[in-house]
Amino acid sequence: GRANFGDILPRYKNDTIVLGFKAKGWEIADGKNKFKFTGEPINLKIKKDDSLCKIKGVVKSRDGQQFLANAKVLINADTTIYTNSDGLFSIVLPMEMCITKETDGYQLTVSAEGFETKSQYHYPHSSNAEIRLDESE
């Protein structure tokens, strides 16, 4: 995009200005957002952030009373991670494995010893995934 600033009074030339940038899924590329205002064009470099690559959540028993440690979380049938001792899992996938639109999701297939396997979709900009497993009989 492009933003144009109206006429700037001469007394503000050569002052330092800080430009803010907020757009879901994007961030400032080089961290540089302070510029000397000379009246010349300013280029703010941006890049896709890794928010679409973040997957995190918790695995619990159906009643929510037990947090399941060492539960296997399979992401899109090609990446496996495990929950920690508190039943939590978290990963930032490499950019080439990330979804490209926030309306897309990741299929999570979760299994734990003594519990039935469950699959559900997770969308990164939604709340953290909470997966509740039924005990197997």
pLDDT digits (tens, 9 = 90+) for 70-102: 999 999 999 999 999 999 999 999 888 988 887
Query: Residue 27, SS3?
Result: strand
Return the minimum-mean-pLDDT range out of 7-11, 35-39, 49-53: 7-11
For residues 6-30, give the mean pLDDT. Answer: 79
Measured from the Cβ of residue 134, the count of other Cβ atoms closer than 10 Å reads 12
* CA–CA separation, 38 and 8 (whole Å): 10
The pLDDT of 98-115, averaged and rounded, is 92
Show the CA angle centred on residue 50, arms to residues 117 and 29, nearest 5°: 175
Q: 0.85 exceeded by the pTM?
A: no
Structure token digits, residue 132? 């509740």
The answer to whether residue 10 scores a pLDDT higher than 80 is: no
Query: Which one, of 9, 11, 10, 3, lies nearest residue 41 by Cα?
Result: 3
